[in-house]
Amino acid sequence: MAVDIAGYNNPSRTMTHLREVHEGFWAVLKGGFAETGIPWDACFVENTGDGAMILLPPEIAKADLVAQLPERMHADLRRHNAVHSEGARIQLRLALHAGEVQSASHGSVGKAVSFTFRVLEAAEAKAAQRTTGAELALLASDVFYQDVVLQDPAAAPADYRRIPVETKETSTIAWLRLLGGSAGGRWPARDAVVRTGTPSEADRAKELTELLLDIPSVAEESSRRILLKRLRPEIATVVAYHPQTRLHVLEIVSTCLRYRGGLAELVAAVQMLEPGSEPVQRLLDHVDDRPEERGS
């Protein structure tokens, strides 16, 4: 978990404001953990100055982090902001991800930690929070959203919107939920949430799966392993394996559609495996009919 205080270093904040924000931030964080039943002392907590990095042990139920904690933190943020001047009010961004982390001599190391902070810095999340005035912007990595948020109706998966993340060397997607602000924590209708498993998306995945199954290098399992190696790691590593060919190809397609540029990567990889074949050309013609998806 990575947490950041939005606008902490705003020049309009005085030292008095900063002290009130600092104290309020830690009270909200610790209070939210206590009310959710997450033992604070069981976590590794690092003060980042304008936020915090928290490593939670595996025995903590991940579902609690999205089904209970956000609402409790949001309630405490509203209480804090109701009795403080504008300069001492708090807006938070909170990012969640799961992965391997190891202890080192001066803290913790792991790609999962760096990745979480990249998600936290998503420009679209910052812009959405500024526009709506949401007290809490909750970000989940795609893996966390698929494995945790989508599996629990109490986590309000339909309130999330898929957003791009382009930070330093990281290019991926994340899922953003806003709590509070002028939009009441909900996106405008024109920015409807992209839901995995909606009929239109499911139909698109099935169409592409049928076209790919006509390509021998995709229908053959050993070739699919090569195909997956040609996709970026954040896509290839989250594709679930199925012994049944059709289901495995469907999983590859569905995963690629969830990532910005994922379909284009998949098509390019197929072209490299089997250039110039008639089934590949049919796939290209089909994708060319949907230019908005080629680089989506």
From first to last of its 296 residues, what are the pLDDT tens digits of the chain? 999 999 999 999 999 999 999 999 999 999 999 999 999 999 999 999 999 999 999 899 999 999 999 999 999 999 999 999 999 999 999 999 998 887 776 667 778 899 999 999 999 999 999 989 999 999 999 999 989 999 999 999 888 888 888 888 888 889 999 999 865 545 543 333 334 444 456 778 888 999 999 999 899 988 999 999 999 888 888 888 888 888 899 989 988 988 888 899 999 999 998 888 888 998 988 887 554 444 44
pTM of the model: 0.64
Q: For residue 78, how many other CB atoms are within 10 A of its CB?
A: 14
Burial 165-185 (b: 16+ CB within 10 A, else e): bebeeeebbbbbbbbbbeeeb
Q: If we measure between CA atoms, which residue out of 99, 104, 197 comes closest to residue 150?
A: 197
Q: At what angle do helices 15-36 and 69-82 cross, to 10 degrees?
A: 150
Q: Are 50 and 7 in contact (CB under 8 A)?
A: no
User: Which residue in this structure is represented by tokens 């405490």?
Assistant: 76
Contact between residue 268 and residue 280 where contact means Cβ atoms under 8 Å apart: no
- Helix 221-229 / helix 262-273 crossing angle, nearest 10 deg: 130
CA triple 144-89-176, angle to 5 deg: 20
The radius of gyration computed from the CA coordinates of the chain, to the nearest angstrom, equals 21
Q: 3-state DSSP call for residue 84?
A: coil
